[in-house]
């Protein structure tokens, strides 16, 4: 159990949350939600003890598993040791034991201390620590051959999975996970969901993955209105309950305002007349009914709509004999397909199996979108009649040039559009007022993603290619993207690990596995059924 009493945090004049009192009960799994900038990560650091609250107290259990956000902190250590460090008492005991054994001669005190340390190692399951850590790593797709390697030798996504294993290791009484699904493929996310639903302690997680929250959490702690309100159920349950409560409060306020207006009208008419006692009673009634201004929500909902200038031909894309290798590693081998106008294809599979490479291969024949230096080994690619491609790359580095403001950068893609129209598109993606004049060099990851959506909305292509579009988006933006892609009448190629996006948008699946690509013509639910029956 984690208990928070009268906790407040603010930065300058901005209040994140004030006088928050909440208890996170053992056996419950909480999603910590709220818009970007609401203070979710700050609150998580207060819970873990990494950050002291400016006011208030936090009571936490002795053993807490925390997902480390610093990917480079353990570069000097073996992967397996990094995981075991998640159990701090065990790791301290192992380090001290090794230091004593490294001495040339042992004293009686050393012998006694070794006995104590062996007791700690036994209590903390230290004799099976490496095998327990290996099981966690295997579940998170870190193969055995990497377990003895140094953390510095791993790629970024692999490091994140090791740090996740570290947080889960050692049977913590509470788990604090900030964006645990970042850089995880769908198989790893499903493994994590299963693991967490069996976790018996207190779980608090921040995630922008709606399906993950709905699958894992039993309760939702929502940061909004400068406080934290706990709801029963997952994210969708919270949204419904929150909307109903807000609507009821607004309705009650509206009824009170009508009643006050009627009373004030009576007071104005008869204030100077003979009905002074009735006027006095109505003045008291007005004072009693006086409405309190409802706190404003921090949530901002973008509006995404993808249109087409004109549709493509019936066949949007056709290719065959596509192959691509990196050195000795063959990533794509002799793959071909025909994509019809209006199809929405999800590219799925473990990280590193070639999903991004396939997109780059298809774009290699488009001069404006081809990656510099990317060469296809073999293959024929033919885009359909009138094909106009809009591309959202996974890596945003260098995509938005510096030295101009947001509005001017966007305007260059259609100089015929008026400034009012540019302002309207920017406003839909939450660049309101002066934010449209923000320098492009000062954009955050989330702002960069939203500006790229603005570009696609302005260009109105008939083929959209997305490579991990949700990485820097909050839940409201992801939901807006989901709805926009469902309504879009053009063709979509989509790489994502967001379960709901795949489930609700895709009409066809390209699944990458064991060096091959399976082409399944049907939605994700049918693909899962077909896969299950084939086993």
Q: Which CATH superfamily is domain 315-534 in?
A: P-loop containing nucleotide triphosphate hydrolases (3.40.50.300)
Which of 106-110, 155-159, 405-409 is predicted least confidently? Answer: 155-159
Which of 237-251, 297-311, 421-435 is predicted least confidently? Answer: 237-251
Q: Which long-range contacts (CB under 8 A, 24 or more apart) does 146-152 make?
A: 146/79, 147/78, 147/79, 147/80, 148/78, 148/79, 148/80, 149/78, 149/79, 150/75, 150/76, 150/77, 150/78, 150/79, 151/74, 151/75, 151/76, 151/77, 151/78, 151/79, 151/82, 152/75, 152/76
What pLDDT does residue 250 have?
64
Query: Of 472 and 520, which is predicted with more confidence?
Result: 520
What pLDDT does residue 289 have?
62
Give the span between the Cα atoms of 269 and 261, in whole angstroms: 12
Helices 186-197, 156-168: axis angle to 10 degrees equals 10
> Are 216 and 8 within 8 A, CB to CB?
no
Please tell me the pTM assigned to this model: 0.73
Q: Which CATH class is domain 1-62+173-252?
A: alpha beta
pLDDT class for 2, splitting at 50, 70, 90?
very high
> Are 410 and 426 within 8 A, CB to CB?
yes
Structure tokens at 61: 């259990």
Structure tokens at 284: 């008291």
- The answer, yes or no, to whether residue 427 has pLDDT greater than 80, is yes
Query: Which residue spans of the chain are classified as CATH 3.40.50.300?
Result: 1-62+173-252, 315-534
Q: How far is CA 479 from CA 208, 219, 450, 505, 518, in A?
A: 10, 20, 13, 12, 28
Phi, psi at 428, each rounded to 5°? -60, -30
pLDDT, tens only, 148-198: 999 988 877 788 889 988 988 878 889 999 888 877 788 888 888 888 898
- Supply the DSSP string of 336-350, one letter for each residue: EEEEETT-EEEEEES
pLDDT, tens only, 52-103: 888 888 898 888 888 877 778 899 999 999 999 988 888 889 888 888 888 8
Angle 409-424-440 (CA atoms, 0-180°, nearest 5)? 25
Q: Is the dihedral of CA 208, 214, 218, 223 positive or negative?
A: positive
């Amino acid at each position: 159990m984690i208990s928070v009493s009268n906790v407040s945090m603010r930065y300058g004049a901005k209040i994140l949350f004030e006088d928050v009192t909440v208890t996170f009960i053992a056996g419950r799994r909480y999603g910590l939600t709220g818009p970007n900038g609401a203070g979710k990560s700050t609150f998580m650091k207060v819970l873990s003890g990494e950050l002291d609250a400016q006011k208030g107290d936090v009571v936490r259990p002795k053993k807490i598993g925390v997902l480390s956000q610093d990917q480079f902190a353990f570069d000097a250590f073996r992967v397996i040791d990094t995981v075991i460090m998640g159990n701090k008492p065990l790791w301290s005991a192992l380090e001290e034991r090794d230091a004593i054994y490294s001495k040339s001669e042992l004293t009686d005190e050393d012998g006694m201390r070794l006995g104590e340390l062996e007791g700690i190692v036994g209590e903390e399951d230290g004799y099976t620590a490496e095998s327990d850590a290996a099981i966690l790593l295997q579940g998170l797709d870190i193969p055995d051959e990497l377990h003895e390697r140094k953390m510095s030798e791993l790629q970024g996504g692999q490091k994140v999975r090791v740090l996740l294993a570290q947080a889960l290791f050692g049977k913590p009484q509470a788990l604090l996970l900030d964006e645990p699904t970042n850089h995880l493929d769908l198989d790893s996310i499903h493994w994590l969901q299963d693991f967490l639903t069996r976790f018996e302690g207190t779980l608090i997680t921040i995630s922008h993955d709606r399906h993950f929250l709905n699958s894992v959490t039993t309760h939702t702690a929502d940061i909004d209105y400068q406080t934290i309100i706990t709801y029963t159920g997952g994210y969708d349950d919270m949204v419904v309950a929150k909307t109903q409560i807000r609507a009821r409060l607004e309705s009650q306020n509206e009824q009170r305002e009508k009643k006050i207006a009627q009373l004030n009208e009576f007071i104005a008419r008869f204030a100077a007349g003979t009905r002074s006692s009735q006027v006095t009673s109505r003045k008291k009634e007005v004072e009693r009914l006086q409405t309190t201004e409802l706190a404003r929500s921090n949530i901002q909902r973008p509006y995404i709509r993808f249109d087409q200038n004109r549709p493509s031909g019936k066949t949007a894309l056709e290719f065959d004999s596509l192959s691509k290798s990196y050195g000795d590693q063959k990533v794509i081998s002799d793959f071909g397909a025909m994509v019809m106008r209006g199809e929405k294809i999800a590219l799925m599979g473990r990280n590193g199996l070639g999903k991004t490479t396939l997109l780059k291969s298809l774009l290699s024949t488009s001069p404006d979108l081809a990656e510099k230096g990317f060469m296809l080994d073999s293959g024929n690619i033919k885009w359909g009649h009138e094909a106009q491609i809009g591309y959202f790359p996974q890596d945003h580095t260098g995509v938005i040039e510096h030295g101009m403001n947001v509005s001017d950068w966007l305007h260059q893609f259609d100089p015929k559009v008026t400034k009012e129209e540019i302002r309207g598109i920017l406003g839909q993606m939450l660049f309101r007022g002066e934010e449209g004049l923000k320098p492009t060099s000062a954009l955050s990851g989330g702002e960069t993603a939203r500006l790229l959506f603005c570009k696609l909305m302005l260009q109105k292509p008939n083929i959209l290619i997305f490579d991990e579009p949700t990485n820097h988006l909050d839940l409201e933006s992801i939901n807006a993207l989901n709805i926009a892609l469902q309504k879009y009448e053009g063709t979509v190629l989509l790489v994502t690990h967001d379960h709901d996006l795949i489930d609700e948008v895709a009409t066809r699946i390209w699944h990458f596995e064991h060096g091959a690509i399976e082409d399944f013509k049907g939605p994700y639910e049918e693909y899962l059924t077909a896969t299950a029956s084939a086993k």
